Amino acid sequence: MRSINPAVAVLAGLLMAVCATAHELDVIVVGPDGVPVPDVVVFAEGGDPERLETASQPDVVMDQLDTQFVPHMLVVQKGTAVVFPNSDTVAHHVYSFSKPNNFVLPLYKGNPHEPVVFEHDGIVTLGCNIHDDMLAYIVVVESDAFGLTDASGRVRLSVDDRTTNFAVRIWSPRIRDGEDLLIQQVAAPASIETGLTFALQKRLRAPHDAATDAVAWSEY
């Protein structure tokens, strides 16, 4: 049997990767009253073949303004560097106790600190040592298919057509439902013709404020 030149095999693999197309998967999240739920983290995970991580990603910004984190919710891929500028008129002391992504940025204004690189997936809860009502979340995922629902409760994920047997998962500090309603299995992107709908059954927690958003959560 004629042997295959290793260089040719590598080139063929690269060409297949380049030629792979992405499937646009629409996801919608609605509450028990049918009303769309915005700012819900949605991401794909697992799959066969295993999803590849992006080699390099631009820095993402979590700002501080009017004694609040802006935005209240971020979702980033594992390995992303997040910048924490302080655009406020007062100093802040930013921290997270969420291990293994815990960190501390001592009291500052402006942007004196280096970006924080999140090397582990999970939910990162942010706080300020000076202002107890400041609270925000960074959800770190391994997938490169992720996003936040918009005002219509929708988000579009771009999933590699080669990925099969993966899951789509959602998370928000406002959601009270159990794990079974927060994940849906997908055999293949092309098998979903009308998108995915997550219909929550329990009443949502109130939007962020100091009293209602500091809730207990467990890692997914």
Domain boundaries, the chain: 22-199
Question: Which pLDDT score, from 0 to 100, does residue 49 have?
Answer: 61
* Pair 26, 186: CB distance under 8 Å: no
Identify the bridge partners of residue 25 per DSSP, sorted by sequence position. Answer: 157
* Pair 180, 200: CB distance under 8 Å: no
Amino acid 133 reads D
CATH superfamily of the domain spanning 22-199: Cupredoxins -  blue copper proteins (2.60.40.420)
| Alpha carbon distance 212, 198 (integer Å) | 23
- Kindly give the confidence (pLDDT) of every residue in the chain, 220 residues in length, as a single tens digit, with 9 standing for 90 and above: 445 454 444 444 443 444 458 788 999 999 999 999 999 999 999 887 655 555 466 789 999 999 999 999 999 999 999 999 999 999 999 999 999 999 999 999 999 999 999 999 999 999 999 999 999 999 999 999 999 999 999 999 998 888 889 999 999 999 999 999 999 999 987 777 778 999 999 999 998 764 444 443 333 3
Question: Which pLDDT score, from 0 to 100, does residue 191 have?
Answer: 76
Q: Is 61 exposed, middle or buried (0-12, 13-18, 19+ CB in 10 A)?
A: middle
* Pair 75, 41: CB distance under 8 Å: yes
Count the Cβ atoms, other than its own, within 10 Å of residue 63. Answer: 15
